[in-house]
Copies of this chain bind each other. A is one copy, B any other.
Amino acid sequence: MNSDEFRRVGHELIEWIASYRDRMETLPVMSPVSPGDIAQQLPAEAPIRGEGLDDIVQELDRIVMPGITHWNHPGFFAYFPSNSDLSAVLGDIACAGLGAQGMSWQTSPAATEVEDVVMEWLRQMLGLPETFSGVIQDSASSSTFCALLCARERSTAFCQNQGGMQWEEEPYVVYASDQAHSSVPKAALLAGFGKEHLRLIETDDDHAMRVDSLEAAIGNDLACGRVPCAVVAAVGTTATTALDNLQRIAEIAEGFGLWLHVDAALAGTAMVLPECRWMWKGIEAVDSLVMNPHKWMGVGFDCSAYFVKDPQHLIRVMSTNPSYLRTAQDGVVRNLRDWGIPLGRRFRALKLWFLLKDLGVEGLQARIRRDLENAQWLRQQVDATPGWERLAPVPLQTLCIRHVPEEIKGDEKALATHNQDIVTRVNESGHYYLTPAVLKGQQIIRISIGATPTERRHVEGLWTALRTEADQRVASGQWSVVSN
């Protein structure tokens, strides 16, 4: 493709993106298509002759757009905020156009050094110790996997350079809470610890890890000849944004020599607010932590920030040094291929830079405060409205609630169906999107606030929709409609 064709379609795409964002609110949040609807509109084989891209914007509208669930919609309250702010989109456009490979410093010095600088900005913004070093990974799953691999190698005196995990005589054990994100068990299993050596510690009424249970589990493993290796604490769990007691867990980790990794994938963004820093008191003691600028912060997937206290250990676990990758600057620069699993690296720092430059720290803080205030407003409504229950504290932007009509009080099965149906109906309206979830066996309505365009009026609208659906179902006495 020559640059004239690129210009033509490129300018068209800029207008397409701008107009998509402008009319976002008129689109159904969750894609209404059925399995196969999108695929069947594409040819079964790649085109033999090139077709050019003159009709690609029409194709995007016709084929792709109906199959998009709009994560940047003001009515998006599902999963977690995964914002792609337009400033970050511009950063990604520059990244794509440059097509730089940042695997080594030399292969595009700017890709490494801009990442050095913006990760240092981020470290300061989050109130992390000066000794911490950051690197961009693709996802919290990969960051947590890196953490548990590093923990494994520290505990085993680098078993990877000897007989591997399979030659160990004493099993190594990983701890997290029963509210830990699924990426934590996945990482522990892939790292070779085995499900039998993963302890999911029970949580208290606020869904935070019971520290006494953690201590007891460690004591029991030691008594049985097993070696406690790592503990993963959550600052903001997935279901309820519960806050594990980091300071006490850090003391235990230090006492028993465990690697301490913190999963603050969503909640880390709130730490740009000094008034939220109490939530990760003790953070200076951790070995590693992950927070995702590609979630609430608005950077656009993929941009997961992984911070470590001892970068040399990370490098020792991850580095390979074949002749074809050696460069003259190896001793004096960071070669970020040695800071994670993949070798090749996109210039992802650009989108973080663009966002921070555009918004500034104060702009970002204002947006996060808005979301926290919206969550508190909704919490007050729920607490003040008869028939509604809240099942978890609201330290951040997520609410876990359910509707409990008098008629079915105590009937857990009917309550589950009732609340699931409310969510289904609200989702079908197209104005809002919620993901149903189960919290300790109870079906809940989970509301995750924080899409960039979500203002108070959208939260108000959601609350009205939830109450209206609930009341209608009560009025009609329809307790048994099958949800889908």
Contact = CB atoms under 8 A, between A and B. Distances in A.
A222 interface: no
A216 interface: no
B22 A17 contact: no
A105 B320 contact: no
A193 interface: yes
A96 B9 contact: no
6 contacts: A9-B90, A67-B110, A164-B171, A167-B194, A186-B320, A324-B435
A361 B46 contact: yes
A64 to B, nearest CB: 5
A476 B307 CA distance: 52
A300 B118 CA distance: 23
Contacts of A320: 182-183, 185-186
Interface residues of A, number: 161
Contacts of A71: 99-101, 107-108
Contacts of A88: 96
A254 interface: no
Interface in A443-481: 446
Nearest to A345: B301
A216 to B, nearest CB: 22
4 smallest beta-carbon distances between A and B, as pairs: A164-B194, A84-B99, A67-B110, A17-B97
Copies of this chain present? 2
Contacts of A124: 45-46
Interface SS of A by simple majority:
helix
Interface in A40-88: 42, 44-53, 56, 60, 63-69, 71-72, 79, 82-88
Contacts of A21: 3, 6, 97
A346 B33 CA distance: 19
A357 interface: yes
A203 B118 CA distance: 44
B37 A109 contact: yes
A320 to B, nearest CB: 4
Interface string A100-143: 11000111111101101110111011000000000000111110
A98 B141 CA distance: 23
A410 interface: no
Interface stretch (A155-163, A275-283, A383-391): A155-163
Contact of A50 (B84, B300, B359): B359
A20 interface: yes
B194 A159 contact: yes
B192 A191 contact: yes
Interface string A330-343: 00110000000111
Contacts of A193: 164, 166
Interface in A1-53: 1-7, 9-11, 13-22, 30-31, 33, 35-39, 42, 44-53
Contact of A69 (B45, B56, B106): B106
Contacts of A66: 110
